[in-house]
Structure 1
Amino acid sequence: MLKKTLAGLTLGVAMFAGQAMAADYQIDKEGQHAFVTFKISHLGYSWIYGTFKDFDGSFSFDAAKPEASKVKVDLKTASVDTNHAERDKHLRSAEYLNVEKNPTASFESTAVKSTGKDTADITGNLTLNGVTKPVVIKAKFLGEGKDPWGGYRAGFEGDTTLKLEDFGMKGPGPASQELELIISFEGVRK
């Protein structure tokens, strides 16, 4: 009788644990399946696009309970690349990213709110140029499933608009005071 009770209890705990367990993922930056990019107006005449080439991150995700999800991303500010060496040097200076004083930027979620079938608002703290501010990333779930190498993956994208002045920076003109930050990544389940 004791064996049956323990077996039933073990099975019940295992079933309950499997129902609401978020899976942990490592962002796949090595396979070139993750990007942290941005665009900003150049004086109102065109767009400047850029990316950060060196970053890492992880997330937890449960499709049945997206509000329990979490995201953390850290990036090296010196890895900024706009395909123009002199501009990149200027962006690394104390006027903008101040990479000597602030070598990393980070985002860590504090809440996830489902906004639709495959969308959510991810609220979190963004630290950039030594300043930490709450931001909301509009996120979209792209899909999940097995990969050809025996792993399991999930993918997301999201974007937010940042006011440069909130992070101690000033753009070159009135049309260049906001930046759109776009994050797209695929993670491999740990």
Structure 2
Amino acid sequence: MKTRLLSPVLAAALALSAGAASAADYAVDTTHSFVTFKVSHLGVSYVLGGFDVTSGTITFDPEGTPADQKVTVEVDLTSLDSNHAERDKHLRSSDFLNTDVNSSASFTSTSFEGDATGGVLKGDLTFFGTTKPIEVSVTKVGEGKDPWGGYRAGFEGTAKLTPADFGMNYNLGPAAATVDLNIVLEGVQQ
């Protein structure tokens, strides 16, 4: 679940920053960045939850090539919140995330295909102790000056993950085999 969250956020940040005037580095504002998940519950409803984004950087050059765009992001898996304390405890256990061993997930971009409005961000997601390539669909939310004299840019990304691909094998049935991730990243230009 956590892996999906990280990738969409990173992808969104890279793809949408093309509107800036020149190459810039953005620090992810962790108080305005989120990774959320949605997974089927018994095929009749959904469990929704989220994780805290603990750090990240976005580097892009709107006049450069897609290869010039870079994103890294880290998510705290122990911050899992699905609005139910006992479920959260179980999801953090060795049955699922095993946060005693794997307390974070990270994403590092490897390429981007798109334009200033969005596209597909590819990169390596490290989740559950395993690193695999993933793709994140990204859309630029907006950018501009903030009230404190800074400049910000925001992005949204989505991805679909299969936790079993990363070694999480607790079987909740076929309806819960994949997890939808939504990533919202806001960056402050450095």
Q: State yes or no: 1:22 paired with 2:27.
A: no
Query: How many angstroms apart in 2 are the aligned matches of 1:90 and 1:80?
Result: 11
Q: Point out the more displaced range, 167-176 or 80-89.
A: 167-176
* TM-aligned CA distance change 1:111 to 1:54, over 3 Å: closer
Instruction: Mark the structure with the bigger radius of gyration.
Output: 1
The RMSD of aligned alpha carbons is 1.8
* TM-aligned CA distance change 1:44 to 1:128, over 3 Å: same
Q: CA deviation at 1:166?
A: 0.3
Give the conservation status (yes or no) of the 8 Å contact 2:22–2:63: no
- When normalised by structure 1's length, the TM-score is 0.83
Q: State yes or no: 1:138 paired with 2:126.
A: no
Give the conservation status (yes or no) of the 8 Å contact 1:53–1:81: no
Amino acid across the alignment from 2:33: A
- Tell me the equivalent position of 1:81: 81
Q: CA deviation at 1:187?
A: 0.5
Give the conservation status (yes or no) of the 8 Å contact 1:54–1:79: no
Q: CA deviation at 1:96?
A: 1.1
- When normalised by structure 2's length, the TM-score is 0.83
Query: Which has the bigger relative contact order, CA under 8 A and spacing at least 6?
Result: 2
Runs (5+) with no aligned partner, structure 1: 1-18
3-state SS in 1 of match to 2:30: coil
Q: Point out the more displaced range, 117-126 or 79-88.
A: 117-126
- Superposed CA deviations along residues 129-178 of structure 1, whole A, max 9, x for unmatched, are 11111000001112211111100011101011001210112341110000
The size of the alignment, in residue pairs, is 169
* TM-aligned CA distance change 1:66 to 1:93, over 3 Å: farther
Give the conservation status (yes or no) of the 8 Å contact 2:29–2:187: yes
- Tell me the equivalent position of 2:52: 53
Query: How many angstroms apart in 2 are the aligned matches of 1:117 and 1:62?
Result: 10
- Superposed CA deviations along residues 24-74 of structure 1, whole A, max 9, x for unmatched, are 0011123xx211111101111111111002522111123333612111111
> For residues 1-190 of structure 1, what are the structure 2 equivalents within 5 Å?
21-30=22-31, 33-65=32-64, 67=66, 68-114=68-114, 118-169=117-168, 170-190=170-190
Give the conservation status (yes or no) of the 8 Å contact 2:53–2:73: no
